[in-house]
Amino acid sequence: MAETVAVILAAGQGKRMHSRLPKVLHRVAGRSLLEHVLAATREAGIEDNIIVIGHGAGEVKAALGTEQKYAFQEQQLGTGHALAQAREAAGEAATILVLCGDTPLIRPATLTGLLQQHRDTGAAVTILSARIADPTGYGRIIRDGQGRVKGIVEERDATPAEKAINEINTGIYCFAAAFLWPALTRLKPDNDQGEYYLTDAVALAVSQGLRVETLVAGDAEEVLGVNDRAQLAAAGAVWRRRINAAHMQSGVTIIDPETTYIDVTVTIGRDTIIYPGTFLEGNTIIGAGCCLGPGTTIRDSQVGDGSTIIHAVVLESTIGPGCQIGPFAYLRPGTILEAGVKVGDFVEIKATRVGRGSKVPHLTYLGDATVGREVNIGAGTITCNYDGRQKWPTIIEDGAFIGSNTNLVAPVRVGAGALIGAGSTITEDVPAGSLALAREKQVNLPSRGKKGEEKRQEKR
């Protein structure tokens, strides 16, 4: 068993979110609130985490997976009661780090500092506090004349003088397990909520003359919790600022950081330029020297060095180096573009591989297709891949030229170097190097001319 265990309290209903989704599963910057907290503990070197779940427990488990360790709080009877549910799972760990699942801005360095102070001082309890301009709604840290912690008073119980205190309890603590577990059994729900408050364990430590320490967070912003949609948006704005600043410091040009949305899970190479209105989401990797946006969304995709993507949507796709995409292109899942491919305006591609140097300039749909190298696909080309029951493949080999307004009725193969005349509907394979024409014969009727017009006038 690890010397330190983190217990993350995530059982609450989050009523102010007005959502069917458990509060801790709402997302900012590419992760749920709870995943941000878990990432912070891992980066702080804590591998053993226990998540206390209750409301929406099934959904939380489904989102985080069975590899996580859980404790269940059947009735939400307060933070002290929630922490007590983790007693068995914590085993013989000597130090218990307690966090809230709705604090996605906490930094790993802050947790490391809190743990270090707790160990260095030998405290029974070490509280992470913060000083904020408006402490309304938070519990206040009460100190004696020597600056020692006397206790924590909640907003509803505070006197006017106590409400004027701007040092708040963040709900993040380190406890010595030898003190914590017996203390939790002594908590009483003597409050108007009828709940077991973890803050009462702090008061118990003070009454026993045990050492209670605090670490004041250097940046109060990182300890802010999320209780409603406005605070969710505020947390997203903080993460966006952090993420964009980190990329810019690493050599990425972001024209307007306030209108650029990059998930924490995204990797970007240096000398890439990102224009406003760009969203980079999920497990996306952007190469060096790319140009992205404006008005572009890229999700769970890889983009090779030197590619340009303008006013486009790219989902679960792989784009090679030196590609040009957009404006107004839509790359759906399973799209693979090799080096130097051009995909122009109003092109949709799905589950298709396009070979090196091929061009799909505009007004085209490619689905379930394999396109070779140096292929030119004319405007208005469509792969007719769905027969109402299943999808069928289209294969276009190297060097083929597909004329404009062509329908390729799958399954069908166009051989290397073949040429398809504009306006054709191709239902059979086209041999390599051949010319295929499949359209109605043009009929030109003689003009009626001036006499025809005179006759029509006579009839009138």
Query: How far apart (Å, rounded) are the C-alpha atoms in residues 355 and 369?
Result: 11
Distance CA 360, CA 342 (A): 6
- How many alpha carbons fall within 13 Å on the CB side of residue 15? 1
The Cα–Cα gap between 171 and 72 comes to: 19
Catalytic residue IDs: 362
Q: Please, what sign has the CA dihedral across residues 221, 227, 230, 232?
A: positive
Kindly state the tokens that stand for 351. Answer: 């589950």
Phi, psi of 370 (to 5 degrees): -125, 120
CB 100 within 8 A of CB 82: no
Distances from the Cα of 367 to the Cαs of 357, 394, 412, 422, in angstroms?
19, 8, 12, 20
Contact yes or no for 405/388 (Cβ under 8 A): no
263's tokens: 């998930």
Which DSSP helix (H) or strand (E) runs through 319?
strand 318-319
Query: What is each CA distance from 310 to 188, 292, 418, in whole angstroms?
Result: 61, 6, 31
CA–CA separation, 408 vs 90, rounded Å? 62
Residue with tokens 């004319």: 378
